[in-house]
Amino acid sequence: MSSPKVLFGFHAVGVRLKTAPQSVVEIYADPTRRDARMRQFVEKVNEAGVRLIEADAMRLAKLCGSHGHQGVAARVQPLAQVTSLDELLEQLEAANAEKPVSERQQPLLLVLDGVTDPHNLGACLRVADGAGVHAVVAPKDHAAGINATVAKVASGAAETVPYFMVTNLARTLNELKERNIWIVGTSDVAPRTLYQTQLTGPLALVLGAEGDGMRALTAKTCDELVSIPMRGAVESLNVSVASGICLYEAVRQRTAV
Report all structural domains of the chain as residue ranges with CATH numbers, in order of start.
Answer: 5-76 (3.30.1330.30), 85-256 (3.40.1280.10)
Mean pLDDT, rounded, for 198-223: 92
As a whole number of angstroms, the distance between CA 151 and CA 147 comes to: 6
Q: In this predicted structure, what is the pLDDT of residue 148?
A: 83
Q: How many CB atoms lie within 10 A of CB 3?
A: 7
Q: Quick check: 234 pLDDT over 80?
A: no
* pLDDT tens column, 54-83: 999 999 999 988 888 999 999 998 877 778
Residues 231, 173: Cα–Cα separation, whole Å = 31
Query: Would you give the end-to-end CA distance of the chain in angstroms?
Result: 45
Higher-confidence residue: 210 or 54?
Answer: 54
Lowest mean pLDDT among 2-6, 47-51, 117-121, 220-224: 2-6
Interacting residues of 165 by C-beta distance below 8 A, sequence separation 6+ = 137, 138, 139, 140, 143, 145
**Which pLDDT tens digit goes with each residue over 168-199?**
999 999 999 999 999 999 998 898 999 999 99
Q: Which residue has the higher pLDDT, 135 or 233?
A: 135
